[in-house]
Amino acid sequence: MRTGLYQGTTLKQEMKINPRLYQAMDLLYMPLLDLQQHLKQELLNNPFLDLVEPDAEDEAKEQEKDKEKEDDEIDWEEILLNGFETGGRREEYEEREYYEPVSVDTKDLGDHLHDQLTLLRLSERELLLGEEIIGNVSDEGYLVCDLEETVQNLNNFIADAGEFEGLDPYSLEEAERMLRIIQGFDPPGIAARDLRECILLQLRDNVVAEVIQETGDSDPDIAEIERRLQTSLAFRIVRDYFEQLINHRWSEISKELSITPRDVQDAADEVAKLDPKPGLKYGSGGDNYIIPDLIVEKIEGEYLVFLNDTSLPRLKLSRAYRDIAKDKKKFVGENKEFISNKLNSANWMIQAIEQRRQTMLKVMNFIVDRQRDFFDKGVQYLKPLTLREVAEVIDMHESTVSRVTNEKFVQTPRGVFPLKFFFSSGLSTTSGEDVSARGIKAQIEKLVSDEDPAHPLTDQAIVNILKEEGIQIARRTVAKYRDQLGVLSARMRKRV
């Protein structure tokens, strides 16, 4: 064998993806709002693109409507001169007004706690410590940093900064006192170091509220509060038997306290009403609104699919720039390249948008045909479906179907669903048909909701019930689906 460099020619086929194909895939991937912004940007960048104007007939109708509105318009000058005597009831004009609700940013948890801190009569030293502790409270309302570490970090900051000269280092005792003050802030349970402390703080707050309501004294007696806490069964169980409580060991707790398991369960029910994440009620996350990309409506017994794209800009080639493009004399040098590129890009964009519309309609129409039982009867009748099945039927690649269904929503008579909702694996039945895993989860959820609380269904009992209905499923699969649904085990669901 000889080693060296050699030259040779070979012939082979390979596929290269051009930039336009990449852009076409991006258009398929975009949800409605993103596509809307993208098209508006294209209108600004490409002079060959223009908006489709309404038809002349539509314009005439609009002008006629505007004229009717002008005829019906109120003469406000006459109303002002005549002392608001309009000849009609005031309510008639008020009812015509519509104010669209506008979402307003609210204060987050940190702002809420800081406002309460500044209302207290605190020294500058105490205020600095309180702000440091509040800064270590998570969005869920828990203190995420040890007090010892908090004090050390604050002391290091003071030593490094030159603006705090003469300020003595903080002690752990000072931090403990400030933490107790902050733990008395709203919401109850805030700044707790763990779940147990969070629940104890909320139980204490409930007792304080009871004493204030009974006595009418805004500054209740501490001794009375402590006395009531010591006699509170829920408080004692959380304080002394928290591990047994979270594991639902009612009998074990009842023996320790010489009470009945039913008393323990009643106390546990009281604890279950408390908020394990009190800080989330002041979460900074805004409202998220979903605009469906597709709409499915039942008309005369048939389900029809429509694209919800009325808000999208309708594109066409600009007539003025098309006339420029026809003038071959201007096709020289840089002008030729610019006009050619922009004209081709505009033509391609219009075709790509139409192709996107047709692809989405094909995919959704197949989903509607395949999942007809779901639309008629509910989620338990959802059939298993994969992206490959859809791709084979509509003669497209599986990745194309995946892009079409990504982050897209459809409005149906049964609610608004992501397109991915209709895709799930399946299980076999004794009749030879397949049933969707999502449908099985719905059946498990219904079985659990209808069970006898004193004798909850075990995973094996659920397996047996589903087998009687012809569904072959393993016990570990039931346990997996139950965990995904957030349903506790039979022992944890049992009621005394």
Residues 6+ apart with CB under 8 A from 216: none
pLDDT of 81 higher than 50 = no
What tokens appear for 66 in the block? Answer: 């505007």
DSSP 192: B
Residues 6+ apart with CB under 8 A from 244: 252, 253
pLDDT of 77 higher than 50 = no
> Where are the alpha helices (H) located in 13-146, listed in sequence order?
19-29, 32-45, 56-72, 76-81, 90-94, 109-118, 124-134
What digits encode the pLDDT tens for the residues 347-390?
Answer: 888 888 888 888 889 999 999 999 998 899 888 888 888 888 88
- Among 307-316, 419-428, 485-494, name the most confident range: 485-494
Does residue 397 contact residue 361 with C-beta atoms inside 8 Å?
no
DSSP code per residue over 406-446: TT-EEEETTEEEEGGGG-B-EEEBTTS-EEEHHHHHHHHHH
The one-letter amino acid at 34: D
Listed residue (192, 223, 191, 193) closest to 208, CA to CA? 223
Question: 52: exposed, middle or buried (C-beta count within 10 Å: 0-12, 13-18, 19+)?
Answer: exposed
What tokens appear for 235 in the block? Answer: 């408080």
Q: What is the pTM of this model?
A: 0.64
What digits encode the pLDDT tens for the residues 41-50?
Answer: 888 888 878 8
Pairing type for strands 294-299 and 49-51 reads: unpaired
Pairing type for strands 294-299 and 409-412 reads: parallel
Query: What does the buried/exposed string (b/e) look like for 258-287 if buried means 16 or more CB atoms within 10 Å of the residue's CB?
Result: ebebebbbebbebbeebbbbbbeebeeeee
The one-letter amino acid at 371: Q
DSSP code per residue over 25-53: HHHHH--HHHHHHHHHHHHHH-TTEEEPP
CATH superfamily entry for domain 424-496: Homeodomain-like (1.10.10.60)
- pLDDT bucket at 79, cuts 50 / 70 / 90: very low
DSSP 291: -
Per-chain mean pLDDT for the chain:
81
Angle of the 19-29 helix axis to the 398-405 helix axis, nearest 10: 50
What digits encode the pLDDT tens for the residues 437-484?
Answer: 888 888 888 899 888 888 899 999 998 998 888 888 888 988 988 998
